[in-house]
Amino acid sequence: MNKYARLYRQKSKQEYKKVINLFSKSSEKSAKTEILSGLTVALALIPEAVAFALIAGLSPLTGLYAAFVVGLITSIFGGRPGMISGATGAVAVVIVALAISHGPEYIFATVVLAGIIQVLAGVFKLGKLMRLVPHPVIFGFVNGLAVIIFMSQLDQFKDASGSWLTGQSMYIILGLVLLTMLIIWGLPKLTKVIPASLVAILAVFGIVVGFGIDTKTVGDIASIQGGFPPFHIPSVPFTFETFALIFPYAAIMAGVGLIESLLTLNIIDEITETRGRGNKEAVAQGAANIFSGFFSGMGGCAMLGQSLINISNGARARLSGIVAAVALLAFVMFGAGLIEQLPMAALTGLMIMVAIGTFEWASLKTFNKMPKSDIFVMVVVTLVTVFLHNLALAVIVGVIIAALVFAWDNAKRIRARKSIDEQGIKHYEIYGPLFFGSVTMFNEKFDILNDPQEVIIDFKESRVVDMSAIEALNKITERYLKVGKKVHLRHLSPDCITLLQNADEIIDVNIIEDPNYKVAVDKV
């Protein structure tokens, strides 16, 4: 017995060691993936942050500091591990007018106020409003953003005067871009030990330096040399006039940031088949923008392109985002000279591959399968995103159109089955939702003058949705009462009964069968 017990214990120890080794190797591999992916993302963040800062009329360091602060805080405290945040074009477009008219100090104050608004949105759990964004809107948003990412890379094929490159200069940058794309596409088919995007950047960098190729580099855009982000309170008058000036910009910036971040979160959720926390992300993003404003940053939000780079590299944890933010600051403080030598062709190729991966190609195959209204919404959102560069406006327009189409479709679904029983009582069995859009068709179902003396309107297969529907019920009962006929309303919720003016006279209450739901009114 003791012999068998010792053998069993030895076997258990061996199995235990195998499990420990397996987890150790898995953790080591995961950490390696996260670190390498974070370094790749940091390299991809630099030209984006610099470009967006210049778009907003600010110093390049303002964008880089925002990328560091926002990226670090959201990576640690955000609701979606693996999602990358930083300075974005959507935010830059919002604040450019204020930056030109009042300067960077007002921008910093605006970023702080926008962060406070975002924190409040997260505290009051407004992230759940993303449930109202239909899938065609997400398709349109993603496709529009992919087009914007691609179009923004075309500037690298132009000279300082805005003219297209020609001759050898064009061939060089085009060849390097295609080589970058080829490595990113082909390397994962051979090995996934090292992120393909990082290998592509380093390979192109080595070719350019090794052969002394003359091509555009990061340093040609702007210098990224700087120190640690300096803390200071925005130098603006603390008056109501200042608040009135910056509040509209802050509110729009907060809305744009939340919409872009929560949509990015949903997209990453679908790719990774996991679930992020929208309200937690809103609080973290708000806190990040508050700190960004106090540390000389232009603020920001989630970045779909960089997030997809991170996820495609296999990163799924917070470590990659933290490494990306810290590495970005290290590049600014200690490695600016080296990073400024990176060829823009490598980063351009990387971002073009991101654009290709971002575009929902499957949405093109559904054109003959999706309802025309959904296709229209998707196309409108894409066009607004591309031509106005206003992601928040695009999403809002898409949601409004989708809501109106939904209301119209449901307004046509109201039906009434009519019958007369043995006692001569006429029954109207209502099917479909009764709300503001279907009230007109509901009223047309009744023949009040020719109906018998007693009528039953049954809502067992219907729902009374809003105050317009309640008012329609009040009017229909009044019309029957005026001609001396009795009407019974069956299967209404207690909420409906309370709101009806003539409830005592016209309602048949059946506690067992009557449904229990609320009507959408200001006070219930």
For 370-434, the DSSP string reads: S-HHHHHHHHHHHHHHHHH--HHHHHHHHHHHHHHHHHHHHHTT-EEEEEE-TTS-EEEEEEEEE
- Do 32 and 106 reside in the same domain of the chain? yes
pLDDT at 523: 45
pLDDT at 511: 39
Of 454 and 54, which is predicted with more confidence?
454
Q: Is residue 396 part of a domain?
A: no
- Do 32 and 117 reside in the same domain of the chain? yes
Q: Is residue 494 part of a domain?
A: yes
Q: Is residue 215 part of a domain?
A: yes
376, with CB counted inside 10 A (0-12, 13-18, 19+), is middle
pLDDT at 412: 83
What pLDDT digit, counting tens, does each position of 457-499 carry?
998 888 888 888 888 888 998 899 899 998 888 888 777 777 7
pLDDT at 509: 46
Report d(CA 310, CA 37) in Å as an integer. 6
CATH number, position 416: 3.30.750.24
How large is the average pLDDT for residues 301-315? 88
pLDDT at 9: 56
Most confident of the ranges 117-121, 164-168, 217-221, 471-475: 117-121
Token readout for 303 is 């970045």
Report d(CA 224, CA 310) in Å as an integer. 23
The label of the residue with tokens 């214990």 reads 9
Q: What is the secondary structure of 416-443 as a DSSP string? A: EEEEE-TTS-EEEEEEEEESTTTHHHHH
What pLDDT digit, counting tens, does each position of 326-337 carry?
999 999 999 888
Q: Are 217 and 339 in contact (CB under 8 A)?
A: no
- Do 66 and 167 reside in the same domain of the chain? yes
Report d(CA 65, CA 345) in Å as an integer. 24
How many domains does the structure of the chain reveal? 2
pLDDT at 182: 95
What pLDDT digit, counting tens, does each position of 53-67 carry?
877 778 889 999 999
- Do 88 and 175 reside in the same domain of the chain? yes
Q: Is residue 9 part of a domain?
A: no
- Do 106 and 217 reside in the same domain of the chain? yes
Answer yes or no: is pLDDT of 2 > 70.
no
Closest CA to 47 of 303, 232, 412, 263: 303
- Do 440 and 328 reside in the same domain of the chain? no
Report d(CA 142, CA 424) in Å as an integer. 60
Answer yes or no: is pLDDT of 135 > 90.
no
Residue 363 — very low, low, confident or very high, per pLDDT cuts 50/70/90?
confident
Report d(CA 142, CA 159) in Å as an integer. 29
- Do 333 and 439 reside in the same domain of the chain? no
Q: Are 195 and 311 in contact (CB under 8 A)?
A: no
Token readout for 365 is 């195959």
Q: Is residue 444 part of a domain?
A: yes
pLDDT at 29: 66
- Do 63 and 183 reside in the same domain of the chain? yes
Answer yes or no: is pLDDT of 293 > 60.
yes
Residue 20 — very low, low, confident or very high, per pLDDT cuts 50/70/90?
very low
pLDDT at 71: 96
Q: Is residue 387 part of a domain?
A: no
- Do 352 and 430 reside in the same domain of the chain? no
Answer yes or no: is pLDDT of 168 > 80.
yes
Report d(CA 465, CA 406) in Å as an integer. 14
User: Mean pLDDT over all residues of the chain?
Assistant: 85
Q: Is residue 381 part of a domain?
A: no
Report d(CA 137, CA 377) in Å as an integer. 6
pLDDT at 77: 95
- Do 347 and 425 reside in the same domain of the chain? no
- Do 228 and 296 reside in the same domain of the chain? yes
Answer yes or no: is pLDDT of 14 > 60.
no
Token readout for 267 is 């997209």
Q: Are 519 and 495 in contact (CB under 8 A)?
A: yes
Q: What percentage of residues in the chain have a pLDDT greater than 90?
A: 37
β-strands 454-464, 415-420 pairing: unpaired
Residue 473 structural domain: 412-506
Looking at 313, 338, 358, which one is the last position of a domain? Answer: 358
Kindly give the interhelix angle for 344-358 and 135-153, rounded to the nearest 10 degrees: 160
β-strands 301-302, 426-434 pairing: unpaired
Q: What percentage of residues in the chain have a pLDDT greater than 70?
A: 89
Report d(CA 384, CA 511) in Å as an integer. 51
Q: Is residue 373 part of a domain?
A: no
- Do 346 and 458 reside in the same domain of the chain? no
Helix (H) or strand (E) holding 315: none
